[in-house]
Amino acid sequence: MQESLRNDEELLRQSVIELMDVDIFYGTYKAVKEVNLNIPKNKITAFIGPSGCGKSTILRCLNRLNDLISSFKLKGRVTYHGQDLYAKDIDPVEVRKRIGMVFQRPNPFPKTIYDNVAYGARVNGYKGDLDELVETSLRRAALWDEVKDKLGESGFSLSGGQQQRLCIARTVAAQPEVVLMDEPCSALDPISTLKIEELMQELKENYTIVIVTHNMQQATRVADMTAFFNAEAVGNKGNKVGYLVEFDQTEKIFSNPEEQSTKDYVSGRFG
């Protein structure tokens, strides 16, 4: 008991991103309510839960990608190393530089493989050796051996799984501290999925990873911490609001969760 308490404290001290009483609105419609969550450093944190519970919405609010949706509003605090991400004087571009994102569907730029990876470094005014950065990023994404002879070809010439790893290389090349992944394997075959999962294990030594996944096996395979979200109906118009049910070590969530609904979800009784 003592030990676990100390572990928790250490975890808190090492958290990179903290969410405090976060409510998210689209216009007047409340999509997510009262989320409190600490994302630990150099760990993989998985967000699981049924569709429409706001996992992706919460993920996107961690690097202010939701800013692109004009009706989006956030209440509460999201901090990154103690800085309020939604303070008035924060530049969202600086936020996204440090908190990168990999998307559900592979979305390489219509450019060469090299330029895809180099883009983030270029826009950020990278001063070092670009060739070297491209190579290390592609190596980190476990793609180098497959593309080293065709860096000048279009990113579209790769297979879906390779494209997704290219997108990971692109994110890594921008040298972020945190990598957000929004169901990165949902469009991929099992072999590519496995490669990306292995990749995540390697990446977590240098990065903090947050992954949204529909695949519970995936969460058990890769995640150190798991947050289970659920949605409940509000009013009578079929609106749903998402909330955090439980956040704990992945093992605990899947073997011995505190909440009944978590138990039901992870044992496949709903969702």
Partner 1 sequence: MITTTIGSLKKNSSSPRVILGTVMTGLSGLCMILTLIPLIAVLFFVFVQGFSRLDTDLFTQLPPPPGLDEGGLANAIIGTLVVVGIAVVIAVPVGVLAAVYLSEFSHGNKFATSIRFATNVLSGVPSIIAGIFAFGLLVSSGIVGFSAIAGGVALAVLMLPTIIRTTDEALKIVPQEIRWAALGVGAYNYQTVLKIVLPAALPGIVTGITLAIARAAGETAPLIFTALFSNFWPNISPQGLAEPIATLSVLVYNFAILPFKPQQELAWAGSLILVLLVLGTSILARLATRRKVY
- Return residues touching partner 1 (CB under 8 A): 63, 65, 68, 70, 93-94, 96-98, 100-101, 103, 105, 107-111, 119-120, 122-124, 167, 170-171, 173-174, 176
Q: How many helices (H) and strands (E) does the chain have?
A: 11, 10
Nearest CB to partner 1, comparing residues 47 and 72: 72
Distance linking the first and last C-alpha atoms of the chain: 33
Structure tokens at 28: 């007047």
**Least Å from the CB of residue 46 to partner 1:** 20
**Least Å from the CB of residue 174 to partner 1:** 4
Nearest CB to partner 1, comparing residues 121 and 266: 121
User: Phi and psi for 31 in degrees, rounded to 5?
Assistant: -95, -35
Nearest CB to partner 1, comparing residues 68 and 191: 68
What radius of gyration, in Å, describes the C-alpha atoms of the chain?
Answer: 19
Structure tokens at 72: 């989006």
Q: 211 near 222, Cβ under 8 Å?
A: yes
Residues ≥6 apart with Cβ < 8 Å to 215: 185, 186
Nearest CB to partner 1, comparing residues 62 and 231: 62
User: Phi and psi for 22 in degrees, rounded to 5?
Assistant: -85, 125
Nearest CB to partner 1, comparing residues 209 and 231: 209
The secondary structure of residue 269, as a DSSP letter, is: S
Q: 118 near 133, Cβ under 8 Å?
A: yes
Nearest CB to partner 1, comparing residues 41 and 98: 98
What are the C-alpha distances in Å from 189 to residues 4, 184, 186, 194, 216? 38, 11, 8, 9, 16
**Least Å from the CB of residue 104 to partner 1:** 8
**Least Å from the CB of residue 181 to partner 1:** 11
Structure tokens at 254: 């899947």
**Least Å from the CB of residue 66 to partner 1:** 11
- Show the CA angle centred on residue 165, arms to residues 161 and 167, nearest 5°: 115
Nearest CB to partner 1, comparing residues 107 and 255: 107
Q: Identify the bridge partners of residue 158 per DSSP, sorted by sequence position.
A: none
**Least Å from the CB of residue 136 to partner 1:** 16
**Least Å from the CB of residue 4 to partner 1:** 36
